[in-house]
Amino acid sequence: MGNDEFRAGMRKLAGGVTIVTSIDQHGQRCGLTATAVCSLSTEPPSLVACVNRSSSVAAVVEGSGVFAVNVLALEQQDVAEVFAGRAGLAREERFTAGTWQQGTGGAPVLSGTCVSFECALAEVKEFGTHLILIGQVTATHVTPDDDSPLIYGNGSFLTTTATPHAAA
């Protein structure tokens, strides 16, 4: 199996769109759009985020020991595009898209998301082209609105609206 076949297959696996952010010792923010994020454990609350080792986040997060995972709402596709590098903006310039606050741990947190998780870096694993960031969640900011999450699959941004099911 070749890389092209693998990539084509992975495009079929839809995922929630997030922006993973961190901050360096000089206060310079960095972030990237990612779909490779998932929960790891509830005891302790933790998650996994996979980032390319050549990214600004990979270069910063090990030194800072903090990162945030911002789960985007449907209306935030434009912010996702900027942090995916499609607007040609570099590191700090990307933060002109959206409204950002400094989280309690220092990592940038985006307003209007479905949820944002602030994390303390617990462990880093290297694999292939990526770093696997294991974060212990130190704060969770859930937006009270019932926003639809932004999803990416098959090369496009998508959304879904959950239909509540009655309990059996």
Domains of the chain: 16-144 (2.30.110.10)
User: What distance in Å separates the CA atoms of residue 155 and residue 31, rounded to the nearest whole number?
Assistant: 21
Contacting residues for 13 by C-beta, under 8 A, at least 6 apart: 153
Give pLDDT tens digits for 3-31.
Answer: 888 888 878 788 899 999 999 999 999 99
Supply the pTM of this predicted model.
0.90
User: What distance in Å separates the CA atoms of residue 82 and residue 90, rounded to the nearest whole number?
Assistant: 9
- pLDDT-above-70 percentage for the chain: 93
Give pLDDT tens digits for 99-136.
Answer: 999 999 999 999 999 999 999 999 999 999 999 999 99
- The average confidence (pLDDT) of the chain is 91
**Helix, strand, or coil here: 4?**
helix
